Amino acid sequence: MLHGRSAELAAVDTLLSAARAGQSGVLVLRGEAGIGKSALLAHAATRATSPTPELSYPFGTMKSGDPLSGTPAQPPPAPAGTDHLPAAGNQALADGNRASADGNRALADGNRALADGNRAPAGGHRSAADAGFLVLRGTAVESESVVPFAGLNLLLGPVVHRLDALPPNQATALRAALGLAAPEGGDHHLVGLAVLTLLADLADRNPVLCLVDDAHWLDQGSAQALVFAARRLQAEGIAMVFAARDLHAPPFPAPGLPELRLTGLTPEHAAALLEEHAADLPRYVRDQIAEEARGNPLALLELPAAQREGHLPAAHAYRVAALPTHSRIQQTFADRIGTLPERTRTLLLVAAADDTGDPTVVFEAAGLLGASVDDLEAAEQRQLLRSDDGRLTFRHPLIRAAAYQSAPLKHRLTVHRALADVLPDAHRSAWHLAAATTAPDEDVARALARTAEDARDRGGYVAVAAAYQRAAELTPDPVERGHRLASAAGAAGAAGQFDRAVVLADQAWHLVGNPVDGARVARIQARLASEQGRSAEAAAQLARAVRCAEHTDRELAGELLFHAANNAWAGRDLDLLKDIAARAGDLPGADDTRRVATAALGLDGADVPGGMAALRELLDSPYVGGPGNAVTAWWNLVLGDDRAAYAWAFDLERQSRAQGALGVLPRALAYLARGRLHLGRHRDARATAEEGLRIAADIGQEFSVGFLSAVLAELAAVEGDAARCEELVATLVGDAPQSVRAACASALLDLGLGRHEAVLDRLADVAAGAHRLYSVTSLPDLVEASARLGKPDANAVRWFDEWASGTGQPWARAVSARCRALLTDDERWYAKAVDLHRVDDSRPFERARTELLYGEWLRRARRKADARTHLRSASEVFERLGATPWAARARAELRATGESRAVPGPDPLSALTPQELQVVRLAAEGLSNRDIGAQLFLSPRTVGYHLYKAYPKLGVASRVELGKLALT
């Protein structure tokens, strides 16, 4: 019985009930050591293997199928393209909220089972009564936190036979991560998608329960993969529960996942627990134990045992202030271990140092030290170590810590050497050798370096950094130590550990022995600075690298100087950029380096046409060529070539999805969303941006998060959604470009709502500042607002005109003509603007704004018939784009001309969520649920769930009917 945990038990049981009904959920348990997290996991495992439970809590008894349980008594029909699907409606776990009945009930218009050839299995939707769980369970340990994907090995070991059913690229990635196949160096984020698909496949027949204890000790590769999968669970019938220590342990970041924080038991519940487990002790002793335990359940259980064995002092009134709970409990365990026979202590130390739990390994290593399986009995009698499902496990992680840390150093070193001798795994053997080594040793260092490269191919960048860093510590030669530190820095940067990477790179810089190596280290330092938004610092570091390499490796020096110029431009250090251009001389790529300076200085205002011309020439540079370089898309956007930027991003997005390259995808989606916004595909832009934002947030790509948030903010501004726009703008903080994008989005919202003074306040300084390039397409907003206030901004008109002329794009020249019309009040500029928009309708929102302004001008000139033509066109575009305030203005102008237009009915596609829209479009192309899931990083069952929700909204019942709809 778990005393004082009724709310926590309810949360776990609700999670399991939802999974039995086919709805997925996640729970992260947090709290100090011994607070009861493992007990809740054990409760979940017990419940998962029992028949449909009654949930008995203070608020009553619920059975699966009861209205309040969150489980539908009669599940909805299975949607097309799925084997079976759960009811909709996520449940809030931690606070006991129940799922809404919305989405669970059958739709009133008689939704039918959407059976387009993919028949639901016999029995249809699984019922709670026959939904026995497949339980996957593992406990992470500290010594495995540097072993790549050790956690996944532990958790998924029982189901590796199911990998063959995964899509080939996912199966390859997961096999490599688990060490079941040769590494191929693929995108390590693909492992997370493979985990999601595998779990969804396993849940096809029975619900799945994944239990991960001590998740704070997971290696980063496993943690990232599991959290990635957990964040995408929706409609599979999977329950995941992570238990992580709050204090005295590494963090377990799980943003966006429901959490339940465990606190100490109340005095009443603590007394009840002691009454149950320590009734043999005198009352005053139990009172002392209760005071010492401070509500910690493990302390309440273990301190009585320590008292019985004589490891607690007699009760007295005045005691030294208590140590942290985990320290007190760990010390009691250490005291109890200290009374065991020597050979049993040796066996416990081997088991604590080992990270496999494999009895063969433990007993073989212990045998080298004089212990054997016979010595296990004493530890089992004390309930310290046990054999469980073919593995040796400690009853609690603090027992492991006590067994290891209380042993003398020389004993620990001896145990690690014994384990290194018997372990067949080269990676683990090398780490045990390193743990047994206290002085520099090149042989051990070389062995660790080999394991680092193996970990790199498997995508375990944290493991790479740790192995190279430890190898460097054991390397006798200073130059080789510098090389290994540089490798550790590069891997730490790839893992997102920028602070660690910077320290390692700085250490390497002082050790490498020749200029070329120094240049390569400086390149690592520059990349780290750039990724952290310190572009000017990155430029200075690259310039330093050039000095190292220019006399020994001119090709490398030329490449570094080019990238130094780009970083100087991004960091707005134009003086440094001039110096870099002057230093280019006759280095390889010197002309391109000088073109970067020409483009930057020209676009700063000195020579905009010249800057645009230089930028256009740079698109052919060998240093930026290829679809993988984001600067190509940015430069195309600066050149106003929306279609070229869109085409680049579209190709990269397709390649990224096909290869499962999740690390590249957010940047591709960022530029794709921007391109779709410019091309007037606002619904697609939102779906793309929201998908990209989810992925970028998951993997920590701050640049992409800001860029995508800016796209969504601009969409909200166009639609007049002030609350959403302000919410997104509030996230655009940090560097100057972010602030500029925030000001531009807010100004567009203000302009649409008629707040013209606010537009001037936001854009006047931005347009004249050093980051004017980021606000160039917002200059027409400044011109329009200033014109409506009777003080048109001639400088903004001039600068935009120079930029538009440099682009050569008809749409840009059209907007420039519109700005001239506002400045001069001359109809000829309006007419020219409309004609130019007809040449290239790549920005329909801008064209509609031009026709609205022209229509307003014609109406004021009492040419109502002419005005109606342009106002109708503007109104239709604004309504199609969902530009609510702009459409209202166009309709008001039309009414002023004497025409009353009916508002068109809602677009069926507008009822779809962004993810539903993506799913139905891919389904209409003929892709299976599995293929769609692989592209969108969803499970096939969740894809089917989205189809089930989308079909009634579109009035269709099959993929065949879906293919007949206009979904653009």
pLDDT tens column, 666-711: 888 999 999 999 999 999 999 999 999 988 887 667 778 888 999 9
> Has residue 893 been placed in a domain?
no
Query: Which of the pair, 863 or 959, is modelled with greater confidence?
Result: 863
Mean pLDDT value across residues 334-360: 88
Asked if 91 and 235 sit in the same domain, the reply is: yes
Asked if 283 and 361 sit in the same domain, the reply is: no
Q: How crowded is residue 556: how many other Cβ atoms within 10 Å of its Cβ?
A: 21
Q: What is the pLDDT of residue 103?
A: 32
Asked if 345 and 202 sit in the same domain, the reply is: no
Gap between the Cα atoms of 508 and 541, Å rounded: 14
CA distances from 81 to 23, 154, 583, 917, 942 (A): 18, 33, 62, 16, 11
Please spell the DSSP secondary structure of 908-956, one letter per residue. Answer: GGGGS-HHHHHHHHHHHTT--HHHHHHHHT--HHHHHHHHHHHHHHHT-
Q: What is the pLDDT of residue 659?
A: 62
Structural domain for 242, as ranges:
6-109+119-261
Boundary (domain end) residue, out of 226, 243, 261:
261
Q: Give 755's contacts (C-beta < 8 A, 6+ positions apart).
A: none
Mean pLDDT value across residues 56-78: 31
At residue 510's C-alpha, the angle toward residues 505 and 516, to 5°, is 80
Gap between the Cα atoms of 754 and 788, Å rounded: 10
Gap between the Cα atoms of 534 and 539, Å rounded: 9
Query: Which of the pair, 53 or 238, is modelled with greater confidence?
Result: 238
Q: What is the pLDDT of residue 108?
A: 29
Candidate from 77-86, 909-918, 924-933 with smallest mean pLDDT: 77-86
| φ/ψ of residue 437, rounded to 5 | -110, 130
Asked if 274 and 393 sit in the same domain, the reply is: no
Candidate from 234-238, 642-646, 851-855, 951-955 with smallest mean pLDDT: 951-955
> Has residue 415 been placed in a domain?
no
Asked if 44 and 100 sit in the same domain, the reply is: yes
Question: Considering only CA atoms, which of 900, 905, 914, 897 is closest in space to residue 879?
Answer: 905
- Grouping H, G, I as helix, E, B as strand and the rest as coil, residue 57 is strand
Asked if 251 and 275 sit in the same domain, the reply is: no
Gap between the Cα atoms of 209 and 207, Å rounded: 7
Candidate from 221-235, 470-484, 779-793, 912-926 with smallest mean pLDDT: 912-926
Gap between the Cα atoms of 332 and 382, Å rounded: 13
Q: Which amino acid is at 238?
A: I
Given a cut of 50, is residue 499 above it in pLDDT? Answer: yes
Q: What is the pLDDT of residue 183?
A: 61
Gap between the Cα atoms of 891 and 184, Å rounded: 59
Query: Which of the pair, 685 or 282, is modelled with greater confidence?
Result: 685
Given a cut of 90, is residue 191 above it in pLDDT? Answer: no
CA distances from 844 to 101, 223, 893 (A): 41, 45, 19
Q: What is the pLDDT of residue 127?
A: 43
Q: Confidence band (pLDDT; 50, 70, 90) for 182?
A: low
> Has residue 401 been placed in a domain?
yes
Boundary (domain end) residue, out of 212, 236, 261:
261
Candidate from 261-275, 295-309, 511-525 with smallest mean pLDDT: 295-309
Q: What is the pLDDT of residue 128?
A: 40
Gap between the Cα atoms of 538 and 106, Å rounded: 59
Query: Which of the pair, 115 or 208, is modelled with greater confidence?
Result: 208
Strands in 134-139's sheet, in edge-to-edge order, are 134-139, 208-213, 238-245, 25-31, 259-261
pLDDT tens column, 628-678: 466 787 888 889 999 999 988 888 888 777 765 666 788 889 999 999 999
Given a cut of 80, is residue 14 above it in pLDDT? Answer: yes
Q: What is the pLDDT of residue 532?
A: 63
Q: How crowded is residue 102: how many other Cβ atoms within 10 Å of its Cβ?
A: 8
How many percent of the chain have pLDDT more than 90? 35
Question: Considering only CA atoms, which of 417, 355, 422, 429 is closest in space to residue 392?
Answer: 355
Question: What is the C-alpha radius of gyration for the chain, rounded to an integer number of angstroms?
Answer: 33
Gap between the Cα atoms of 29 and 240, Å rounded: 11
Helix intervals (H) in 219-282: 220-231, 267-277
Q: Give 536's contacts (C-beta < 8 A, 6+ positions apart).
A: 567, 568, 571, 572, 573, 576
Cα 283 from chain centroid (whole Å): 52
> Has residue 679 been placed in a domain?
no
Q: Please give the mean pLDDT across all residues of the chain.
A: 81
Q: Confidence band (pLDDT; 50, 70, 90) for 594?
A: very high
State whether the Cα torsion 806-809-815-820 is positive or negative.
positive
Which two three-digit tokens encode residue 464? 């790479």
Burial class from Cβ neighbours inside 10 Å (0-12, 13-18, 19+) for residue 279 reads exposed
Name, of 75-79, 138-142, 849-853, the range with top average pLDDT.
Answer: 849-853
pLDDT tens column, 741-796: 899 999 999 999 999 999 999 998 777 666 677 788 899 999 999 999 988 888 88
State whether the Cα torsion 366-400-11-3 is positive or negative.
positive
Residue 394 pairs in a beta bridge with: 385
Gap between the Cα atoms of 67 and 634, Å rounded: 53
Gap between the Cα atoms of 395 and 386, Å rounded: 7
CA distances from 795 to 612, 768, 823 (A): 19, 9, 11
Gap between the Cα atoms of 344 and 370, Å rounded: 10
Asked if 105 and 235 sit in the same domain, the reply is: yes
Q: Give 424's contacts (C-beta < 8 A, 6+ positions apart).
A: none
Q: What is the pLDDT of residue 53?
A: 44
pLDDT tens column, 801-829: 989 998 999 999 999 999 999 999 999 99
Asked if 254 and 271 sit in the same domain, the reply is: no
Q: What is the pLDDT of residue 853?
A: 96
Q: Confidence band (pLDDT; 50, 70, 90) for 854?
A: very high
Question: Considering only CA atoms, which of 863, 893, 861 is closest in space to residue 875?
Answer: 893
> Has residue 183 been placed in a domain?
yes
- Give the CATH number, domain containing residue 384: 1.10.10.10
> Has residue 638 been placed in a domain?
no
> Has residue 561 been placed in a domain?
no
pLDDT tens column, 258-269: 999 998 888 888
Gap between the Cα atoms of 398 and 302, Å rounded: 11
Q: How crowded is residue 768: how many other Cβ atoms within 10 Å of its Cβ?
A: 14
Question: Considering only CA atoms, which of 419, 441, 442, 444 is closest in space to residue 430?
Answer: 444
Q: Which amino acid is at 729?
A: V
Boundary (domain end) residue, out of 215, 244, 261:
261
Gap between the Cα atoms of 190 and 181, Å rounded: 15
pLDDT tens column, 603-617: 877 788 889 999 999
DSSP 5: -
Asked if 253 and 297 sit in the same domain, the reply is: no
> Has residue 716 been placed in a domain?
no
Gap between the Cα atoms of 343 and 630, Å rounded: 61
Mean pLDDT value across residues 835-842: 90
Q: Confidence band (pLDDT; 50, 70, 90) for 298?
A: confident
Asked if 129 and 22 sit in the same domain, the reply is: yes
The 3-class secondary structure across 411-474, one letter per residue, is HHHHHHHHHHHHCCCHHHHHHHHHHCCCCCCHHHHHHHHHHHHHHHHCCCHHHHHHHHHHHHHC
How many percent of the chain have pLDDT more than 70? 84
pLDDT tens column, 352-362: 888 778 899 99
Judge whether 920 and 950 are in contact, CB under 8 Å. Answer: yes
Candidate from 40-49, 121-130, 561-570 with smallest mean pLDDT: 121-130
- Grouping H, G, I as helix, E, B as strand and the rest as coil, residue 72 is coil
Number of structural domains in the chain: 4
At residue 167's C-alpha, the angle toward residues 163 and 168, to 5°, is 85
Asked if 74 and 37 sit in the same domain, the reply is: yes
Q: What is the pLDDT of residue 422?
A: 92
Q: What is the pLDDT of residue 3?
A: 86
Q: What is the pLDDT of residue 879?
A: 92
Asked if 236 and 310 sit in the same domain, the reply is: no
